[in-house]
Structures are given as structure tokens and as C-alpha cells.
Structure 1
Amino acid sequence: MNTTAASTDPKAFSSFAEFYPFYLGEHSNRTCRRLHFVGSSLALACLTMLLVTGKPQYFLYGLLCGYGFAWLGHFGFEKNKPASFKRPLYSFMGDWVMYKDIWTGKIKL
């Protein structure tokens, strides 16, 4: 299957294993990846605050941080639309796999 961003509809993938190379292609810009990393880190901090304080607004803050930084990366630097618009679950999973891959050195920041 051709997984280039320009020719592939994210809905065409039948598994996350097929989707993830496409996802990485949608994150080839280093600044975009860095913004995703910052947003994901802040989202985890907000989740921690939610668990520590019990204040539900931290859930909203986490969503705003996670998606806000990611979308800034896509619209401002990657110049594409986030795949989350068409494959929200796979995109969410891809965010966290990429986050892990950055921490483990598989993907450069």
C-alpha cells in the first residue's frame, strides 16, 4: 500500500500497523514533532494535576494543550491537516507511540 500523505486517505487503513507509517509521514517536519512532544508532555502534566487535585478543569486544559500544540504544528509548520480529523483513534494512538519513540530515541526531536 502506498502510504504517502498526498495520495492516501487515512480512512483506507485497516489496522494501526498500516496507519502508523502514514502518521509518521504526516509528521516529517521537526518543529511539528517538537510541538506534538510539548503538547503531549503538557497534557500528561494536566492529567497528573487532575489526579492530584481532583479538579475537572485540568482535563480540559490537557485537551487544549495536546490538541492546540499539535494543530499549531500541522497548520503552521507541517502545512497539512491533522489526520485526527479522519482517523481520531488511530491518530490519538499515533501521538502516544510517536511520543514513546521520541523518548526512546527512535525518532529525533
Structure 2
Amino acid sequence: MVEHRYTTFAEFWPFYLREHSKKQTRALHYLGTTIVVAVAIYAVASQSWLWLAAMPLAGYFFAWLAHFIVEKNRPATFTYPLWSLAADFRMWGLWLTGRLGPELDRAGVR
């Protein structure tokens, strides 16, 4: 089976949302992303730069847990690492501002 290759972020975005179709998957992503942001703020505020090394661990731990245990799919970051990172922050931001619902609807996520 040939995997579709996305060539633009706009084309990738609905795919990313469909790969995060379960609320529990998204919740674990939000948790990881929130921890990443908190660690970054702490590292900068305290000038404890070693904390920056914890950022990928926190983010990926919760995201991959969500994909392997809840969603049961392969994380998009394995194929699209930068777009996945950008999409994760976009999804998190839209969730925080209450604007994610219409995006999920457009992507066909129930």
C-alpha cells in the first residue's frame, strides 16, 4: 500500500486532526504540550537551561502514549516531524481558545 505524501501544511492539517480523532488522544497531547510550555517558561525564567532537555521528553512521552495506547496508530511525527510539531501547537492553541471544534468538523472528525 502506497502512503499518501503531503506536500503542504494546509493539506497535512486535516490528516493530522484525523490522526487525533479521539478526545483522549487530544487530551494527552494537550497535557504534554502544556508541560513543554511550562518547562520552557521555567527554564528561561530561572536560566536553568538544562531543563530545556526535558521538553521533547515531556511532549513526546504523552503524545506517543496517546497514539500507541489510545488511538492505536503511528505518530505522524515519524514521517512529518516539523509539520507535526507545528500542528500540535496549532491544535493546542485552537483548543485553548475554544476554536478547535470547527476544524475537527472540517477534517471529518466526529
Provide the aligned length of Structure 1 versus Structure 2: 101
**What corresponds to 2:107 in structure 1?**
none
**What corresponds to 1:107 in structure 2?**
100
The Cα offsets for residues 37-88 of structure 1, whole Å up to 9 and x where unpaired, read as 0000000000001101111221111111111111111111000111000110
**What corresponds to 2:90 in structure 1?**
97
Gaps of 5+ in 2: 102-110
In 1: Cα distance, 2:41 partner to 2:97 partner: 22
**Identical residues among aligned pairs (%):** 38
What TM-score do you get using the length of structure 2 for normalisation?
A: 0.85
Higher share in helix: 2
Aligned partner (choices 3, 22, 25) of residue 29 of structure 1: 22
Deviation (angstroms), 1:32: 0.6
Q: Which amino acid aligns with 1:27?
A: H
In 2: Cα distance, 1:61 partner to 1:73 partner: 19
Q: Which has the higher contact order (CA 8 A, sep 6+)?
A: 2
What TM-score do you get using the length of structure 1 for normalisation?
A: 0.86
**What corresponds to 1:77 in structure 2?**
70
CA RMSD of aligned residues (A): 1.6
The Cα offsets for residues 18-47 of structure 1, whole Å up to 9 and x where unpaired, read as 000000000001101000000000000000
Aligned partner (choices 12, 19, 28) of residue 12 of structure 2: 19
Q: Which amino acid aligns with 1:38?
A: L
